[in-house]
């Protein structure tokens, strides 16, 4: 028999966060997030998303042991644009249909009682949280802040009557390539025609003044993408504080116009997946050492985030920061780059990688169901 319990104490929340460590024990591909990051994201008094979201978390028990977990989230900002959706996220479970049915029945009933009409996921509070269930690439290591799951997960979704709605795809690129002279000439013409500047950075203090404007541009660039919820000022502040800690300014490129406003950007970082595996969810006592070492290793990088202001899309602006970042890759002898997850139907973004020697890497899927 399966028992579902609402998470109501800090101890239970810690168990909710740590359950995947047991589920994926011995798995060479799963990359554990930092417990401290998870605790902050899931805590109603620490995550500013709770100003426009509500959420509950549940644990499933079978034979006295934790057998699964799931979060139910309602993002009221997103729902004003996309409809009455309850989201499910932070979903993990053993290979047992009874456990899976109990978990999803619970979050579906919660959503219905809140007046929701559909359920979708895996999604987080905001788009910077983990999204999508892995459906291809189970024998590959994901980048940090991305979901890994067993192959039986998507099989369970179909058994429960869920349908795939959107796919995010990632590519593996050969990073250190020569830059065609033709592209250099085109970039020069684009900069002159639109009076644009390409900024590169050596120190974090040079980059920080552009951090908030960068996320404001991201809000505009992503506004029409599936399920997007515009980031608030407080959410942007949190993202700058948490993620710019890891950023190497030499792997950031920002394009600005004559008014010094951000029109496009690209952010990369050294691959931290293996370091996070060694950290096992803990920064202390030794986790931070593994991460610091990885930040100095430039063999492989993750293309973490990029975007172009809607007013500047389809004008070739994206090529400016890709060329500049490619120069940084060559300079640092970077061999491989893994792209960030991009919606497959975002053709303009996906087509950028056709200019590089690439291969499909991972595919994740968002599922929906009418309640």
- Residue spans of the domains in the chain: they are 2-168, 173-363
- At residue 323, the pLDDT reads 84
Note the helical H segments in the chain.
10-23, 35-42, 76-82, 97-113, 152-159, 181-194, 204-207, 211-222, 233-243, 273-279, 287-295, 318-331, 347-351
Q: How far apart are CA 173 and CA 166, in angstroms?
A: 23
CB-based contacts of 39, cutoff 8 Å, min separation 6: 13, 14, 17, 46
Residue with tokens 């369970």: 156
Q: Mean pLDDT throughout 24-42? A: 97
2-168, which class in CATH? alpha beta
- At residue 105, the pLDDT reads 98
Q: Mean pLDDT throughout 15-40? A: 97
Domains 2-168 and 173-363 in one fold: yes
Which phi and psi (to 5°) does residue 58 adopt? -130, 145
Q: In this model, does residue 192 exceed pLDDT 90?
A: yes
The topology (CATH level 3) of 173-363 is Aminopeptidase (3.40.630)
- At residue 324, the pLDDT reads 84
Q: In this model, does residue 145 exceed pLDDT 80?
A: no
Q: Mean pLDDT throughout 216-237? A: 95
Query: What percent of the chain has pLDDT above 70?
Result: 99
How does the average pLDDT of the chain come out, rounded? 93
Q: How far apart are CA 267 and CA 162, in angstroms?
A: 34
Q: How far apart are CA 329 and CA 324, in angstroms?
A: 9
Q: In this model, does residue 245 exceed pLDDT 80?
A: no
CB-based contacts of 305, cutoff 8 Å, min separation 6: 218, 265, 266, 267, 340
Lowest mean pLDDT, pick from 36-40, 102-106, 158-162, 248-252: 248-252
């Amino acid at each position: 028999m399966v028992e579902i319990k609402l998470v109501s104490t800090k101890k239970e929340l810690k168990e909710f966060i740590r359950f995947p460590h047991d589920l994926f024990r011995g798995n060479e591909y799963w990359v554990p997030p930092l417990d401290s990051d998870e605790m902050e994201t899931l805590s109603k008094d620490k995550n500013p998303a709770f100003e426009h979201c509500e959420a509950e978390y549940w644990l499933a028990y079978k034979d006295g042991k934790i057998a699964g977990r799931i979060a139910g989230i309602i993002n009221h900002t997103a729902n004003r644009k996309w409809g009455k959706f309850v989201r499910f996220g932070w979903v993990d479970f053993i290979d047992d249909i009874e456990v899976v049915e109990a978990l999803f029945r619970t979050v579906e009933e919660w959503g219905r009682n809140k007046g929701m009409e559909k359920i979708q996921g895996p999604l987080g509070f905001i788009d910077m949280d983990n999204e999508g269930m892995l459906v291809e690439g189970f024998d590959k290591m994901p980048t940090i802040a991305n979901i890994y799951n067993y192959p039986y997960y998507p099989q369970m979704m179909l058994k429960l009557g869920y349908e795939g709605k959107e796919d995010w795809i990632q590519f593996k690129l050969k990073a250190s390539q020569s830059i065609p002279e033709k592209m250099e000439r085109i970039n020069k013409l684009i900069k002159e025609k639109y009076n644009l500047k390409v900024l590169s950075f050596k120190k974090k203090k040079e980059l920080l003044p552009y951090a908030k404007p960068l996320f404001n541009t991201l809000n505009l660039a992503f506004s029409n993408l599936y399920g997007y919820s515009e980031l608030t000022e407080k959410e942007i502040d949190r993202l700058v504080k948490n993620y710019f800690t890891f950023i190497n300014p030499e792997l950031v490129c920002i394009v600005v116009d004559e008014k010094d406003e951000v029109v496009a950007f690209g952010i990369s970082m050294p691959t931290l997946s293996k370091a996070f595996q060694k950290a096992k969810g803990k920064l202390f006592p030794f986790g931070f050492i593994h991460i610091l070492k990885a930040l100095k290793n430039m063999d492989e990088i993750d293309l973490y985030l990029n975007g172009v202001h809607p007013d500047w899309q389809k004008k070739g602006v994206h090529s400016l920061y890709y060329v500049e970042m490619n120069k940084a890759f060559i300079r640092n002898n970077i061999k491989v780059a893994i792209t960030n997850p991009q919606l497959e139907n975002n053709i303009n973004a996906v087509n950028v990688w056709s200019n590089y020697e690439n291969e499909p890497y991972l595919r994740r899927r968002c599922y929906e169901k009418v309640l």
